[in-house]
Amino acid sequence: MKNYIKYFIAVTATGVMFSSCKDFLDIKPKGRDLESNYYKNEDQVFKGLIAAYDVVAWQGGILTNKEGVAMAASDDHYGGGEGAGDGNFVNMDKFTLTPALGPQEDLWSRGYQGIFRANILIEKAPAAEMDAGRKARIIAEAKTLRAYFYFDLVRWFKNIPLYTSNITASEMYNVTQASPEAVYAQIETDLKEAIAEPNLPNMVTAADERGRFSKGTAHALLGKVYLFQEKWTEAAAEFAEVNGSTPGQENPTYGYKLLSDYGKLFTGDPANKFNSESVLEIFHTTTSGGSWGGGGVAATEGNIMNIMAGPRGYSPVTAGAPDYYSGWSYWPVTTSLFNAIHFDPRYKYTIANLDSLKANGIANYTPGAQNTGYFIAKWIARNSNLPTGGGDRDLNWGQNYYDIRLADTYLMEAEAIVRGGGNASRAEALIAAVRARVGLGPVAATMDNIKRERRLELAGEGQRWFDLVRWGDAAAVLGPEGFVAGKNEILPIPLREMDNTKIEQSKEWGGTK
């Protein structure tokens, strides 16, 4: 799929696929003509689909990505990096955001770029001359993509514009925000329509289609959407569809099964991409040739998180030193997470204790900002996975990212059951399956146990921040770091989006919306 991306982005760059009001105002008339004359056949429609998927893996030019921002905001990580100048993550970590300062412009831009590309597909594909079944599948994928982007945006910002069709540059001045309830209703509609489409496959098995959304993906995403709205019964039903009748066993309908070896989830080994546990996986490659002089972070298909997470100045001293590649020391692990996971079997796959390695003469490193000596091992680049496809190495690491994986859906179903007063034995079996994979025994299905299990199982995967917010625990846990209840649960609307438009700042941030 990725072979088409660069060509298609070049074709559509002058069309109405941008996120910011100012971007719309820069559109040239020929861009509208190009859009109206495109999407005529299967090749063009498929390239449009590729362009929409491409935004899922997008990373901002100042190192912004959804996962990294959420990690920095949680109690499991600090922002880190070189120093206070690495503002996006430090501002999230310390909750010193303003409408003009922080990662929110990049997150807003990512979301609306994806939505506009999905909207164009949904609008234009029905008239294309192509196989009806393949067309229907692509439209279902576009609806799932649109739902995915809106779900991120409504969680980050709460008060956002809702577009189900694209608008002209002049209309951007009069755009207003929809209620969160209206946005969630549209997300649910898109996902239900995608699930109901017979041509959307239950699972994706073809090697050249890996990464495309399936019916299983849509069910999992819908379950998560219900969970965030506290629709416990509906959430449990969607997750049960994904998880199957017997926790720990393969779900034959969608092909999902917990990977037997927890550690293999995060090695960066290409052989483990899109494994049986993967439900929604963000694709990266070593072969895009990304370079600092060729667009930098925003233009690469590589994973910038790998170089960001590694310890600065890392150098092995003995032959037994870990195979780490020196990085930029972002997201140092807090002592809180270290203490919580230290005696858990998942610890060795989750945290790299560089202070211990240094003290024992095994390896050296240079402390970065907010250093604790603990690094997130799930993301550290390794010499065994060096990019070989050209460009600058920093920008071309190929490790994929799990946005949703099966252990996550197991624990979310267990939570929905417990909070909704459902079948406790089913909830216990789901939790037990996650723990048994790493050699741990069963525990009671309580919210305290589910919260603990989610923190340890999903550490460093960008889930913790959203969990704390939806549980109502963020103020108690993050208050010492500067979190203000009734404000920091969402990000401020970017200042740029409010200039000369009717978009208003949220009340939580001193606005009127």
Where do the domains of the chain lie? 2-235+492-509
- CA end-to-end span of the chain: 40
Residue 35 has a pLDDT of 65
Give yes or no for residue 236 having a pLDDT over 50.
yes
Residue-wise pLDDT tens digits, 457-495: 999 999 999 999 999 999 999 999 999 999 999 999 999
Q: Check residue 173 and give its pLDDT.
A: 86
Phi, psi of 391 (to 5 degrees): 80, -170
Structure token pair of residue 376: 């997130």
Determine whether 504 is exposed, middle or buried from the number of CB atoms within 10 Å of its CB (0-12, 13-18, 19+).
middle
Four-residue CA torsion sign, 36, 41, 45, 46: negative
Look at residue 323 in the predicted model and tell me its pLDDT: 97
Q: Read off the pLDDT of each residue in 238-256 and give the average, rounded to a whole number.
A: 99
- Distance CA(5)–CA(127), nearest Å, equals 22
Question: Which of the four pLDDT bands, split at 50, 70 and 90, describes residue 34?
Answer: low
- Residue 283 or residue 170, greater confidence: 283
**Residues 464, 76 contacting (CB under 8 angstroms):** yes
**Dist. CA 435–CA 449, nearest whole Å:** 11
pLDDT value of position 330: 97
The pLDDT > 90 percentage for the chain reads 84
- Structure confidence at residue 14 (pLDDT): 30
The mean pLDDT value of the chain amounts to 92
Average pLDDT over residues 142-164: 98
Question: In 3D, which of 187, 125, 145, 151 has the Cα closest to residue 55?
Answer: 145
For residue 32, the SS3 value is helix
Closest CA to 450 of 478, 476, 470, 479: 470
Of 320, 287, 330, 341, the C-alpha closest to 62 is 330
Helices and strands, number each (H, E), in the chain = 21, 6
d(CA 47, CA 17): 14
Task: Round to whole Å and give the CA distance between 319 and 330.
Answer: 26
Instruction: Count CB neighbours of 30 within 10 A.
Output: 10
Q: Can you name the residues that pair with 77 across neighbouring β-strands?
A: 333
CB 392 within 8 A of CB 291: yes
Question: Looking at the predicted structure, is the pLDDT value of residue 28 above 50?
Answer: no
Summarize pLDDT for 304-322 with one digit per residue, the tens: 999 999 999 999 999 999 9
Close Cβ partners of 196 (under 8 Å, ≥ 6 residues apart): none
pLDDT in tens, 58-116: 998 778 999 999 999 999 999 999 877 677 888 999 999 999 999 999 999 999 999 99
Tokens of 220: 């999992």
Question: Is the predicted pLDDT of residue 32 greater than 80, yes or no?
Answer: no
Share of the chain above pLDDT 70, in %: 92
The answer on pLDDT for 298 being more than 90 is no
What pLDDT was estimated at residue 23? 33
CATH 1.25.40.390 assigned to domain 2-235+492-509? The reply is yes
Output b/e per residue, 430-458; b: 16+ Cβ within 10 A: bbbbbbebbebeeeebeeebbeebbbbbb
User: What does 431-452 look like in DSSP terms, one character per residue?
Assistant: HHHHHHTTTPPP----HHHHHH
Q: Which two tokens stand for residue 299?
A: 């233009």
pTM, entire model: 0.93
Helix or strand or coil: residue 394? helix
Q: Which residues contact 501 (CB under 8 A, 6 or more apart)?
A: 21, 172, 173, 174, 175
- The answer to whether 314 touches 363, Cβ cutoff 8 Å, is yes
Answer with the residue of higher pLDDT: 26 or 228: 228
Residue in 84, 357, 416, 13 with CA at minimum distance from that of residue 229: 416
Structure tokens at 67: 């996962």
Q: What is the pLDDT of residues 166-224, one digit of tens each?
A: 888 888 889 999 999 999 999 999 999 999 999 999 999 999 999 999 999 999 999 99
Q: What are phi and psi of 483, to 5 degrees?
A: -65, 130
> What is the helix, strand, coil percentage profile of the chain, to 5?
50, 5, 40
Angle value at C-alpha 490, between 485 and 491, nearest 5 degrees: 120
Residue 170 has a pLDDT of: 84
